[in-house]
Amino acid sequence: PILAIAAIATLGLVPWLGNSLFADEGATLYSAHLSWSDLWGQSQHVDLVLLPYYVIVHFWVLVSGTIEWIRALSLIAYSATVVVVGWCGLRIAGRWCGVLAAVLTATSTLVVEKSLNARPYELSTLLVALCAAVLFTWLRDGRVRWMWLFSGLALLATALQLFAFLAPVAMLVGVLAVRPRLLSRRLHAVFGPLALMVVPALIWAIAGTRQVGQVNWIATQSLQTRLLMEVRGPAIGLLYDLVIAAIAVLVLVKVGVAVSNHEEHAILRHVSDDRDVFALTASWAVLPTLAL
């Protein structure tokens, strides 16, 4: 079902790949057709933080140089993101959780909007979603190789979109906040991966500070406005709000029934068992937005 949701959502967006070009996409199209030396020279004056994306697109346009083809890269990342988030839901609470997670991702306003842009944001979103999936696996498996993979994916996401670094860091901080002993027990094993993630990201951020004027595009919207944009999906309009409300009501009803049946201790034990998952998902959803 998750693959079907991703396929249907992606096919539904294909006709929109021919939308009118906007200014930033013009920069992508222009940069993709520069020679390697000219691209490097351009990055010394503008768009240094987008250089890794322009390098990827440089190879991508070897197949076709049309704007529709360049946008297709983001659309493919969109489809993969729906699958990854759905898989995370499947691992957390079974089929229906996975299906619901996939649907909510596929109809998210911001995710759909960026899936039709010839910009790096959807690719970085996919990498962040993969960070979440790997971190879930590390929490249950414990082997350090998953933390190395997490750090590598976080770095790739940061290379494509500097602010994407906030998301994997928020996930990790959220988990460690509810399990402070976890880091002390595994510090010797995870120190290397954490250093791999943090040090290059800081160097990359410092390298881009001389072009900091380019971030004046950041909207001055209120936090409430940004969150509302995120939770309201274009595919089903205002019904999206109803879906969110229905989920909340069902959770409250289930908890209420359990409490009425004197299962308080079982609920608390279940919540305690799932605190890592809750901390990770809540941090992923909220902390990066608050930081911006």
Convert 99-126 to b/e letters by CB count within 10 Å (16 or more is b). Answer: bbbbbbbbbbbbbbebbbbbbbbbbbbb
d(CA 73, CA 53): 11
Q: What's the pLDDT tens digit per position in 16-66?
A: 888 888 888 888 989 988 899 999 988 888 888 899 999 999 999 999 888
Which pair of tokens denotes residue 184? 């002390």
Radius of gyration of the chain (CA): 20
Number of C-beta neighbours around residue 6 at 10 A = 22
pLDDT < 70 stretches in the chain: 182-187, 211-276, 285-292
**Residue type at 69?**
W
Q: What's the pLDDT tens digit per position in 137-168?
A: 888 877 888 889 999 999 999 999 888 888 88
pLDDT of residue 291: 44
Number of C-beta neighbours around residue 8 at 10 A = 12
Of 111, 145, 114, 151, nearest to 131 by C-alpha is: 151
pLDDT of residue 21: 83
pLDDT of residue 121: 92
